[in-house]
Amino acid sequence: MDLGQKIEKLLKLTSMTKVELAKKLGLKDSSVISHWVKNRFKPDRKNLQKLSVAFKKPISYFEEDSNENNSQTENSFEIREGTTTAKSLYELISALPSSKHIGVALEIQGEFFDLPYTFEPEEFLPVMFDAKNKETFALKINSKIACPWAEKGEFALFVSSESVQSGKIALIRYKNRYAIKKLTLDGEDIILSTPNKKIKVSQSEIIIVAKLMAFYRRPY
């Protein structure tokens, strides 16, 4: 059972509305609860503690199940749009090895970029992550425009995911192109930002493709 299902189940068991839960957690409105239930975003540690108090459950209850099979939402890359581009990106990521050295998918220079439909990585990084069998891949950053948080020549390491915590960096699809942005909830909207730029968009306008794990620079 994923986190969204757990929250939804507890709301039903306690006959509590999302509005009532939002008030208990000190949130401005219930839209954030809706995002959690839909697994669009995940609560941070502070809100997990508040959920624990509100529902009288240990914090561990709201963490990922270790002894259960997670739902498809947690275990697989969900194609939100039936487009060739989205489908091909899934095929691209699925072809990469998980639990092995991470393959470099692309070198990027611009703020928005395209990803190839299929490819065979010619470069692998000597880095391994325990991503719980989710696909991992890297993008090489060749300019600060592409990713202001990284230095030129560094690699952004991603794990495929359809959700990310508010305030975290993710690889997204926006207006049929891809970009690396920090995502922050703002009511029913999402703010896409870099250190020098912010754009407010509707949540329906973006697809979360992967979440950032770390930046990596080759040792010389």
Poorest-pLDDT segment among 38-42, 145-149, 152-156: 38-42
How many structural domains does the chain have? 2
Of 102, 137, 135, 97, give the one whose Cα is nearest residue 116. 137
Contact in structure between 137 and 96 (CB atoms under 8 Å): yes
| Residues paired with 173 in a beta bridge | 178, 207
Q: How far is CA 50 from the centre of its chain?
A: 22
Domain limits for position 67: 3-72
Report the side by side order of strands in the sheet with 155-160: 124-125, 102-108, 136-141, 155-160, 206-216, 168-174, 177-186, 189-194, 197-202
Last-in-domain residue among 50, 72, 94:
72
**Residue 113: DSSP 8-state:** B
Instruction: List CB contacts of 76: < 8 A, sequence separation 6 or more.
Output: none
pLDDT class of 89 with cuts at 50, 70, 90:
low
Condensed to tens digits (0 to 9), the pLDDT of residues 113-129 reads 987 766 667 788 877 66
What does the pLDDT read at residue 212?
92
pTM above 0.75, yes or no: no
Phi, psi (degrees; rounded to nearest 5) at 71? -70, 170
107 shares its domain with 149: yes
Last-in-domain residue among 72, 97, 122:
72
What does the pLDDT read at residue 184?
93
